[in-house]
Amino acid sequence: MAKTNSENKRPTWDRYFLNITKDVSERSNCVCVKIGAIIVKDKRILSTGYVGAPRKTKDCLERGSCLRRELNIPSGHRYELCRSVHAEQNAIINAARAGVSIEEADMYIFGRKTLGGEDSLIDIVPCFICKKMIINAGINRVICNTKDDQIRIFEVEQWVSDWKERDMTDDMDIYSTKYNKTEDKRQ
């Protein structure tokens, strides 16, 4: 008799690719988070990306500080005042640099908070800018980790449908990350 998936402990495809995304996140050079993204089509990895400063520039680890925290900018605001490029953006950019079509692919995103020596999973959700890029890139699904190590799947077509009916900011409640200067345990 053949063994079932749970008997031979093989991960599902979504868990398999999310586990790989976790390794990609280790390349992040943000002092606050480790986030990685991979783009997969037909069970093949097409592109990877992680949170990091633009090529050939100094990152937050090299500088020893987070510009957004120095300026007391809350999460979800003023993305342009960050030294890093988001993992999702880098995965899309890296595919474009390689001339790889990512239309109808899936994107996996893994993230955890690392500020001040903390190491905890987070409910990772693409920001509004990344959501718009994901929609325009033709991605089908976005698969993310949660803070309790579960998998959350977003159907990109649902975002499009929702935004046709309501404004894009109507889903602000999913962006619950807040911080202030007192959270930075280095101070």
Q: How confident is the model at residue 176 (pLDDT cuts 50, 70, 90)?
A: very low
- pLDDT higher than 70, residue 106: yes
Q: How confident is the model at residue 187 (pLDDT cuts 50, 70, 90)?
A: very low
- pLDDT higher than 80, residue 105: yes
Torsion angle of C-alpha atoms 81, 124, 107, 163, degrees rounded to 10: -80
Q: How confident is the model at residue 128 (pLDDT cuts 50, 70, 90)?
A: confident
- pLDDT higher than 80, residue 172: no
- pLDDT tens track for 33-86: 999 999 999 999 999 999 999 999 999 999 988 898 899 988 777 888 889 999
Secondary structure of residue 71 in the 3-state scheme: coil
Q: Please give the angle made by the CA atoms of 32, 63 and 25, to the nearest 5 degrees.
A: 40
Q: Are 50 and 24 in contact (CB under 8 A)?
A: yes
- pLDDT higher than 90, residue 145: yes
25, 46, 50 from 103: Cα distances, Å: 23, 11, 20
Whole-number pLDDT of residue 1: 61
Handedness of CA 21, 23, 28, 33 (dihedral sign): positive
- Six token digits for residue 89: 């953006």
- pLDDT higher than 90, residue 113: yes
33, 115, 168, 184 from 181: Cα distances, Å: 16, 11, 29, 6
- pLDDT higher than 90, residue 185: no
- Specify the higher pLDDT residue, 163 or 176: 163
